[in-house]
Amino acid sequence: MGFKFYAPASLFLLLLSLPAFAYGWGVDGHAIICQIAQDRLSDPAAAAVEDLLPNYAKNNLSRLCSWADRVKFRYRWSSPLHYIDTPDGLCTYDYDRDCKDEDGVKGRCVSGGITNYTNQLLDYGNSSSESQYNLTEALLFLAHLMGDVHQPLHVGFTTDRGGNTINVRWYRRKSVLHHVWDDNIIETAEERFYNDNVEEFTEAIKQNITGEWSDQVAKWEKCSDNKVACPDVYASESIEAACDWAYKDVKNNTQLEDDYFLSRLPVVNLRLAECGVRLAATLNRIFG
Ligand code: ADE
Ligand code: ZN
Ligand code: ZN
């Protein structure tokens, strides 16, 4: 009797503990960004978000912030929309040169995705007719892709697929550099400093936004030339941070420990904060 119960239960636990094939910040990174953004929405933006979210996730954008990763296999066309590959070693991003998929189709990258879903959402409330788009999906893609474009290695080098082919050890465990930046730094920070609790980590970042970084927030929010979204600016910052911090001093099979963790965690904190603030500002402009 006991065994019958035991086998499926442990199989279930095993499946739960397997790292999902990682794309974008991990679940926690995306949830942190969307929680920060949710709490900064204007009244009209909060109302539109509540209207567009499915019933089980009302008022909680953060619960669905990883949806776009979960549908990557069902929506095969969407997978190039999560990243940008830039020329090896150059450390710059150029929309015309770099925003394309592996077949060279222009605009099929994370920056093009953000622009596309922003434009779809600008249809919201055009009462004349129902939008031709699924605006719930557009919102979930936009909230997710804003996160991805802020993950430094989502705007990485072409040959190593944004650090996906660079094997490293994270302390004693096997990992790849890309996964270190999607998940490992965030998980280790939560374990060491925040009682293993994503909400506590989110609160700490929110306190930095209203405290130490408060004089930078207006600059983060700004998107020049009256544009609604500014993904190319964020992509350029990401490849610069990838070169200055993520790739720096890392080769295949490097072991990454406290030196790397403690010097890179402030960069991760800053990217999560900038992204949460900018996602809110973008949604406030769209629905304003
Ligand atoms: N696949 C190819 N390049 C990638 C990147 N930079 N991030 C995630 N997946 C990728
Ligand atoms: Zn993603
Ligand atoms: Zn990723």
**Cα separation, 246 vs 137, whole angstroms:** 31
Tell me: the pLDDT tens digits for 247-268? 999 999 999 999 999 999 999 9
- The conformation of residue 247, written as its DSSP 8-state character, comes to S
pTM of the model: 0.92
User: Which domain range does residue 136 map to?
Assistant: 23-163+170-287
Q: Kindly state whether residue 1 falls inside one of the protein's structural domains.
A: no
Tell me: the pLDDT tens digits for 202-244? 999 999 999 999 999 999 999 998 999 999 999 999 999 999 9
Give the closest ligand to the alpha carbon of residue 101: 1
Nearest atom, ligand 1, residue 153 CA: 6
Cβ of residue 162 lying under 6 Å from some atom of ligand 1: yes
Tell me: the pLDDT tens digits for 93-141? 999 999 999 999 999 999 999 999 999 999 999 865 578 899 999 999 9
Cβ of residue 163 lying under 6 Å from some atom of ligand 1: no
CATH of the domain at 47: 1.10.575.10
Cβ of residue 161 lying under 6 Å from some atom of ligand 1: yes
Q: Kindly state whether residue 2 falls inside one of the protein's structural domains.
A: no
Number of domains in the chain: 1
Measure 6 CA to ligand 3 centroid, in angstroms: 34
Residue 14, pLDDT > 90, answer no
Cβ of residue 98 lying under 6 Å from some atom of ligand 1: no
Question: Could you tell me the CA-to-CA distances from 164 to 80, 87, 178, 206 in Å, in that order?
Answer: 14, 15, 5, 30
Q: Kindly state whether residue 45 falls inside one of the protein's structural domains.
A: yes
The residue whose CA has the least distance to atom 1 of ligand 1 is 161
User: In this structure, are residues 209 and 217 in contact, taking their beta carbons and an 8 Å threshold?
Assistant: yes
Secondary structure class of 48 (helix, strand, coil): helix
